Structure 1
Amino acid sequence: MDSALTAAGERRIGWAARAMPVLTAIGERFAAERPLDGLRIAACLHVTAETAVLMGALRAGGAEIALAASNPLSTQDDVAQALGEYGLRVHALAGVDRQTYYRHINQALDIAPDLVLDDGCDLVNTLHTERTELLGTVSGGCEETTTGIIRLRQMAAERALRFPVVAVNDTRTKRMFDNRYGTGQSTLDGIMRATNTLLAGKVVVVAGFGFCGRGVAERARGLGARVVVTEIDPVKALDASLQGYDVRTMAAAARIGDVFVTVTGNRDVVRGEHLAEMKDGAILANAGHFDVEIDVRALEDLAGEVRPGVRPNTDEYVLADGRRLLLLAEGRLVNLTAAEGHPAAVMDMSFSAQALAVAWLARERLRLEPGVYDVPEEVDVEVARLKLAAAGIEVDHLTSQQEDYLHSWRLGS
């Protein structure tokens, strides 16, 4: 055990906790109420300082926790070691290979969990494919990401999902604060740390105009970039166009882009035919969870030479004609690999919703059928209310006359 590493992790966790007053307050409430007493939780999340604050709140509520990493490139080893000293079973190490990644997930599942927390559905998928003997003990779960919710809804549609899962990602506060503002800022933070590039005047191509893509586009435009949006959804494409963005196909955008950011949750968004058209020095970054949005194998096939580590988290692929394409973070999440992910103030809201959803699930799980469930509206509203209070912001309240007006069809104009 490296005492210096543990101390560094404790300092990092303490710094994050300063910007997470809502989750800290929930942890104090959990310590008094103990809503998770006797429950075992297996979690597959990014092992960061912000996640550590969430783990602390759940542990204060009485849970026994085993934690694996949902992305080995985002793992903060000092945090992982500090969490181990706090009494959690932590199975995570930065930079491990795919085989070790799944071994860590299986080690977390060895706790025989009552509840599971996932970020991308890899843990739930492993439960349903490799560790089916544990399905009888699992009575509920929570999912943090868009990608994971897509996979879970497909499992539910095929009647393959064996327990209820709460779609924490789909709350109004999560989509607004985490996906839009968190992903927008942290993605550009990762790109700039990795490349030290000036975004002003550059053409930034954003693939996907959901909440995450919207945030990236807004932040890039705010830094002076000319933003091109690619979409498959006509309504989102129209929205982007009406907001003043240049909407094109990826085939058209590939020829003019300086920086490409994928935020779709799907695979092969940037393919070989697009890579072949890109200009010298084009930067490729993914903020859509898995390392499949940019076709890295196609990039390897096109390259005559690969120069790894030309800068931290930046690999240079030299094409046959001498053009150089820069792949950031191996095509994995650039904001968590080349930077530190969302600011702690953002994760305060996301993880507060997660913590309250876990407590709700602990109460309701035995009455729920297998499927994907929205977070109760009262949980979402409580998180927003607590965040406003922590920021010293007051809002108006309906008068009794206004309440009557909203709940009566008899009152006219």
Structure 2
Amino acid sequence: MGMVHDLALADQGQRKIDFASRRMPVLRTLTEQFAETKPFTGHRIAACLHVTTETANMVRALVAGGAEVALCGSNPLSTKDDVAASIQRDLGAEVFAVYGADRDTFYEHVQAVLKTRPTIVVDDGADLTTTIHNDHAELLTDVIGGTEVTSTGVLRIKNMADDGALRYPVFPTNDAATKHLFDNRYGTGQNTIDGILRATNMLLAGSTFVVVGYGWCGRGVAMRARGMGANVIVVEVDPVRALEAVLDGLTVMPMSRAAEHGDIFVTVTGNRDVITIEHMRKMKDGAVVANSGHFDIEIGVEDLRKEAEEVTELRPNCVEYRLPAGNRVLLLAEGRLVGQSAAEAHPAEVMDMTFATQALALEYLVANAESLPAGVHGIPKDIENRVAKAKLDAYGIEIEQLSDQQKRYLTDWRVGT
């Protein structure tokens, strides 16, 4: 049996899961197909994902495809207890996830999932992958491969591959256009703003909003903040991304300067220590600090707690820290993923593409496992096109088609202007 907060919450969770399913037509169609073809029969899938309604529908697809699924949460504050209860009761998977789990409990859940001796690993942040390689080498003989869904996790598996440490093939779902162009930009953009508003109820219009990191997630956050009337400052280390932000009409400066100007700060870098206690000492009184990167190490949370002379919980997911200089810093969601922790995570419509891409990558992995070497493998282009086309079909949108002459022109170097 799994470990969830309260199975009595399952009815509530089931209603939410079914509502999300209505807005996930691509994954719903795949679930029906998997129920007929059973591509995952005989496989044990260990998944470490945000336990949300969208993830529940991914689990439903995998179970329909014949898999045995064990699921743990990839972030203690993103688990929805009612959803976890329904997955455990209704969807035929074992769930080890409780909202607010401490660090020890979190890793107990990771270990519990790995006790199922998985043949496939579905990761969000690479915690399962790194734990297997570091602590459970005996499991490597059973694992045929896996997927990784988030930017930080992809960075970790690529580092493993570069070091020659990665022992099985992994498909980086995050690198697929049907993931990062939509999930990262529109999903993260929307739920980050949603989390900040739920935690603070602040007016964004007229505020100075600092986005630390201008990757796809940062672009999405900046786009949504600007759309609500905020003046956006971008902090970036990559010159090309910084130049892009400038040409997008945004202000770019180092964090040491931005710290003095911002009213709201959001980190989306996938790195550590991008807002430090030195930065927070410079901030305006009442500055809001939040993180939308995968791990809570982007902000110097421990140093903030140590230095604060007074700590006050103002609202759920909004804690005020008064520093010795007198300025107060409002930290949201303990520095964890603010859109997952203080809001409802990504909308079902965008996760429809992410999880459909991931499910098809898993089907491809099973079909081609014997020929795939260890390492990081890109999502096949035909999978991305299949998902995008299915999504367009669901919207009732028809696109143009190339004529035979146009196809010949695009593949023939002899024809000029």
When normalised by structure 2's length, the TM-score is 0.98
Match of 2:215? Answer: 210
Match of 1:298? Answer: 303
Structure 1: distance between partners of 2:307 and 2:266 = 20
Aligned-pair distance for 1:206?
0.2
Residues 276, 302 of structure 1: 8 Å contact kept: no
Match of 1:361? Answer: 365
Match of 1:233? Answer: 238
Match of 2:102? Answer: 97
Match of 2:16? Answer: 12
Structure 2: distance between partners of 1:110 and 1:187 = 34
Output the amino acid matched with 1:293: E
Structure 1: distance between partners of 2:25 and 2:59 = 15
Output the amino acid matched with 1:318: R
- Unaligned segments of structure 2, at least 5 residues: none
Map Cα deviations across residues 199-247 of structure 1 (whole Å, 9 max, x no partner): 0000000000000000000000000000000000000000000111000
Match of 2:44? Answer: 40
Map Cα deviations across residues 312-337 of structure 1 (whole Å, 9 max, x no partner): 11111011132110000100000000
Residues 211, 221 of structure 2: 8 Å contact kept: yes
Instruction: State the SS of the aligned residue for 1:41.
Output: strand
- Unaligned segments of structure 1, at least 5 residues: none
Structure 2: distance between partners of 1:44 and 1:23 = 19
Output the amino acid matched with 1:99: D
Aligned-pair distance for 1:262?
0.3
- The question of 1:342 aligning with 2:340 is answered no
Output the amino acid matched with 1:71: N
Residues 263, 286 of structure 2: 8 Å contact kept: yes
Map Cα deviations across residues 247-298 of structure 1 (whole Å, 9 max, x no partner): 0000000000000000000000001211110000000010011000001122
Aligned-pair distance for 1:157?
0.6
Map Cα deviations across residues 162-202 of structure 1 (whole Å, 9 max, x no partner): 10000000011111110001100110000000000000000
Aligned-pair distance for 1:4?
4.3
Instruction: State the SS of the aligned residue for 2:290.
Output: strand
Output the amino acid matched with 2:244: D
Number of residues of Structure 1 aligned to a counterpart in Structure 2: 412
* Range 99-108 or range 318-327, more displaced: 318-327
Superposition map of 1:131-146 within 5 A? 131-146=136-151
Structure 2: distance between partners of 1:225 and 1:354 = 35
Residues 173, 379 of structure 2: 8 Å contact kept: yes
Output the amino acid matched with 2:64: A
Instruction: State the SS of the aligned residue for 2:260.
Output: coil
Change (3 A) 1:3 1:77: closer
Residues 7, 85 of structure 2: 8 Å contact kept: no
Match of 1:221 among 223, 226, 234: 226
- The question of 1:289 aligning with 2:290 is answered no
- The question of 1:315 aligning with 2:287 is answered no
- The question of 1:373 aligning with 2:377 is answered yes
Superposition map of 1:33-72 within 5 A? 33-72=37-76
Instruction: State the SS of the aligned residue for 1:43.
Output: strand
Residues 166, 375 of structure 1: 8 Å contact kept: yes
Match of 2:126 among 117, 121, 129: 121
Structure 2: distance between partners of 1:297 and 1:82 = 35
* Range 362-371 or range 372-381, more displaced: 362-371
Residues 6, 82 of structure 1: 8 Å contact kept: yes
Aligned-pair distance for 1:136?
1.1
Aligned-residue Cα RMSD (Å) equals 0.9
Residues 259, 283 of structure 1: 8 Å contact kept: yes
- The question of 1:248 aligning with 2:276 is answered no
Match of 2:88 among 84, 102, 110: 84
Structure 2: distance between partners of 1:156 and 1:4 = 43
Structure 2: distance between partners of 1:320 and 1:295 = 16
- The question of 1:409 aligning with 2:413 is answered yes
Residues 308, 322 of structure 2: 8 Å contact kept: yes
Match of 1:192 among 197, 203, 212: 197
Match of 1:274 among 257, 274, 279: 279
When normalised by structure 1's length, the TM-score is 0.98
Identity %: 55
Residues 181, 216 of structure 2: 8 Å contact kept: yes
Match of 1:73? Answer: 77
Residues 200, 225 of structure 1: 8 Å contact kept: yes
Structure 2: distance between partners of 1:79 and 1:351 = 17
Match of 1:183? Answer: 188
Change (3 A) 1:2 1:128: closer
Runs of 4+ aligned residues of structure 1 deviating over 6 Å after TM superposition are none
